[in-house]
Amino acid sequence: MGKRVFIIVCDSLGIGKAPDALSFGDGGTDTLRAIISSDCFRAPVLESLGLFNIDGIDYGDPSGHPLASYARAEEASMGKDSTIGHWEIAGLITERPLPVFPDGFAEKLVRKIEEIIGRRLVCNMPYSGTKALSDFGEHHLMTGDLIAYTSADSVFQIAAHESIVPPEELYEICRTVRNVLDGDPDTAVGRVIARPFSGKDASEFTRTANRHDFSIAPPRRTMLDFISDSGLDTISIGKIWDLFAGKGIGKAVHTAGNDEGMSAALEEANSDFSGLCFVNLVDFDTVYGHRRDIEGYARAVSEFDSRLAGLLDLMREDDILIITADHGCDPSYSLTTDHTRECVPILIYSRKLSPKNIGTLHTFADIGCTVCDYLGVAYELDGSSFLDTLQG
């Protein structure tokens, strides 16, 4: 078999020190620093790879002999959401931020959507997802009105009880809304998100595992397109397929959380393929970061670390494993519950490459260029490959 690359995105595991954090209102945020303060934090494998050797990290225990090459990367795109972050990892810098709606969506747009889908929308404000269920869930049960809300990110979220609107019906509604929003660049949000929930009343309402994201398609080709077009495999695990609207992806494995994501990654590592396996672990962000749960975030990293050892054991001689993130979501930050503008870690493990300090990269897009370069795929992407540095 040919070469294989595994990219694992620990969704929101930022490492602070983004040079433009103040312009995003996020000065002083540092997701990793926040969670290592917890007694629940245990990450011996990440430490051995060199997580705390990365430039700019002045806490934790650096390894005397890191097993991986390591770097920190600054985001060049004008945003701090998962869509833009993943696009940049895949070699696409986004200069225009995706639209956000701090006052909710325009009444005219809401009326148009209601007419097309045949249901009324309630809420229509930036809202905590769990609070939206608490405040509007019982109304939804009585009327069938859908709970529509946004956040500081470029999202249009629609919540519905699974007994009132089955998930597949909600997905179809979200596809329709996606098409409506895409008709105007000023409303083309990064993601339309289906948020099914269950429970008998406000005291019991909880989101189910049937979330589904409907992303805007990348405006240009990404590393996934170039790799796929070359005849190599492109495998997505978690919400990768959603974030790229399926473009350039040959096989998609949808998962309900980090544990399923790592199980799927281990299964692919045990299989024969040539190309890229691109993994997103979403729980760090949605379950712990946004809910400002420091202890939960620390436990989630510890659990990931315990699964990581098994994946390293399955790496073949020509395999490369890249562990990184797409933005921050500092669980200790009290001004908002939104993503935070931070640098991200990059750990690059290979049995045949000598570990090196790559320093600071000025765009995540260097990752996509390096992956294509390693796989021998011709590409036209933003950023630059650092493969020569890895192999030097």
Report the CATH number that the domain containing residue 197 is assigned in CATH: 3.30.70.1250
Query: Which pLDDT does position 390 carry in this prediction?
Result: 96
Q: Roughly how many angstroms between the first and final C-alpha of the chain, as a whole number?
A: 25
Residue that terminates a domain, selected from 182, 215, 248:
215
Asked whether residue 226 is domain-assigned, the answer is: yes
Residue that terminates a domain, selected from 215, 247, 273:
215
Residue that terminates a domain, selected from 154, 187, 215:
215
* Nearest alpha carbon to residue 342 among 331, 330, 334: 330
Asked whether residue 58 is domain-assigned, the answer is: yes
Q: Residue 367: give the domain boundaries.
A: 4-97+217-391
Whether residue 17 is found in the same domain as residue 117? no
In sequence order, which residues have a C-beta less than 8 Å from that of residue 205 and are 6 or more positions away? 133, 134, 137, 161, 197, 198, 199
Whether residue 296 is found in the same domain as residue 188? no
Query: Which pLDDT does position 227 carry in this prediction?
Result: 98
Asked whether residue 49 is domain-assigned, the answer is: yes
Asked whether residue 380 is domain-assigned, the answer is: yes
Whether residue 85 is found in the same domain as residue 201? no
Asked whether residue 102 is domain-assigned, the answer is: no
Number of domains observed in the structure of the chain: 2
Whether residue 133 is found in the same domain as residue 25? no
Query: Which pLDDT does position 183 carry in this prediction?
Result: 87
* 48 touches 66 (CB < 8 A): yes
Query: Which pLDDT does position 209 carry in this prediction?
Result: 87
Whether residue 254 is found in the same domain as residue 377? yes
Whether residue 135 is found in the same domain as residue 63? no
- CA dist list (Å): 80 to 10, 25, 96, 282: 14, 11, 12, 15
On the 0-12 / 13-18 / 19+ scale of CB atoms within 10 A, 307 is middle
Helix (H, G, I), strand (E, B) or coil at 162: coil
Q: Which two tokens stand for residue 78?
A: 């004008």
Asked whether residue 159 is domain-assigned, the answer is: yes
Whether residue 242 is found in the same domain as residue 156? no
CATH code of the domain in which 62 resides: 3.40.720.10
| pTM (2 d.p.) | 0.91
Whether residue 208 is found in the same domain as residue 190? yes
Query: Which pLDDT does position 153 carry in this prediction?
Result: 85
DSSP summary character for residue 328: B
Whether residue 149 is found in the same domain as residue 257? no
Asked whether residue 14 is domain-assigned, the answer is: yes
Whether residue 72 is found in the same domain as residue 174? no
pLDDT per residue as tens, the chain (392 positions)? 689 999 999 999 999 999 999 999 999 999 999 999 999 999 999 999 999 999 999 999 999 999 999 999 999 999 999 999 999 999 999 998 899 999 999 999 999 999 999 999 999 999 989 999 999 999 999 999 999 999 988 999 999 999 999 999 999 999 999 999 998 999 999 999 999 999 999 999 999 989 998 989 999 999 999 999 999 999 999 999 999 999 999 999 999 899 999 999 999 999 999 999 999 999 999 999 999 999 999 999 999 999 999 999 999 999 999 999 999 999 999 998 899 999 999 999 999 999 999 999 999 999 999 999 999 999 999 999 999 999 98
Whether residue 203 is found in the same domain as residue 223? no
Q: Which amino acid is at 212?
A: H
Whether residue 74 is found in the same domain as residue 124? no
Asked whether residue 43 is domain-assigned, the answer is: yes
